[in-house]
Amino acid sequence: MKVRRCYNCGQPANKDVVALNQKLLGRSVNRVLCIKCLAEYLECTEEELLDRIKQFKEEGCALFADDNVS
């Protein structure tokens, strides 16, 4: 499996963070941001983004499905 890295700082981005980038920035996003850089970019906290991941999973968003491979 290809490891996606943050475009800004180079940190690895797990599949949930990649999915969050797609959900918030558009499914066609090619460059992803790690949770820290994404929070900075969106002017929110990392905790708020982690809460959104949990919310999207509970809602059944297909981007956050366990079998989703990005």
Asked if 42 and 14 touch (Cβ cutoff 8 Å), the reply is: no
Tell me if 30 is assigned to some domain. yes
Number of domains in the chain: 1
Write out the two tokens for 43.
């002017």
In this structure, what is the dihedral angle of CA atoms 20, 28, 70, 16, given to the nearest 10 degrees?
Answer: 0
Q: Helix, strand or coil for residue 26?
A: coil
Residue 66 predicted with pLDDT over 80? no
8-57, pLDDT tens digit by residue?
A: 999 999 999 999 999 999 999 999 999 999 999 999 999 999 999 999 99
pLDDT of residue 70 exceeding 80: no
pTM as predicted: 0.87
69 domain-assigned: no
Residue 9 CA: distances (Å) to CA of 12, 31, 37? 9, 12, 8
Asked if pLDDT for residue 67 goes beyond 80, the answer is no
Q: Which domain holds residue 19?
A: 4-64
